[in-house]
Amino acid sequence: MIRILLYIFYYVLLGWIIVKIFRAFSKKHRSATARDFFQDKKKVVEDDKLVKDPFCNTYFPKDKALVLNYLGEFYYFCSEDCRDKFVSSISHKSN
């Protein structure tokens, strides 16, 4: 009897998780409410990983970064200016 109750509980929980996931996906298509705005805002903060510009040492969100793959390593820059100066500084070092 307890086993049956556990099975029911398990499937209710599983169904609840599926609904949660489904809602998370369909959220993008719904019009934004105030609550969604705050949830999205929170999500943005969680998703936005800060990266450091190796040239000017500024921290900024990764999605706004200019990415440079140099010798298999990724570098993130706040501007083209910083990227170009960094590239010229490392090429000067190696020469």
Choose between 39 and 66: whose C-beta lies nearer to Zn ion: 66
Choose between 19 and 50: whose C-beta lies nearer to Zn ion: 50
Q: Which stretch binds Zn ion (CB under 5 A): 6-14, 17-25, 32-40, 55-63?
A: 55-63
Location of structure tokens 């990227």: 83
Please state the closest distance from residue 19 (CB atom) to Zn ion, in A: 44
CA distances from 30 to 22, 24, 33, 37, 43 (A): 13, 11, 9, 12, 16
51 is an interface residue for Zn ion by CB under 5 A: no
For residues 93 and 91, what is the distance between their CA atoms, to the nearest angstrom?
5
Structure tokens at 63: 């999605």
53 is an interface residue for Zn ion by CB under 5 A: yes
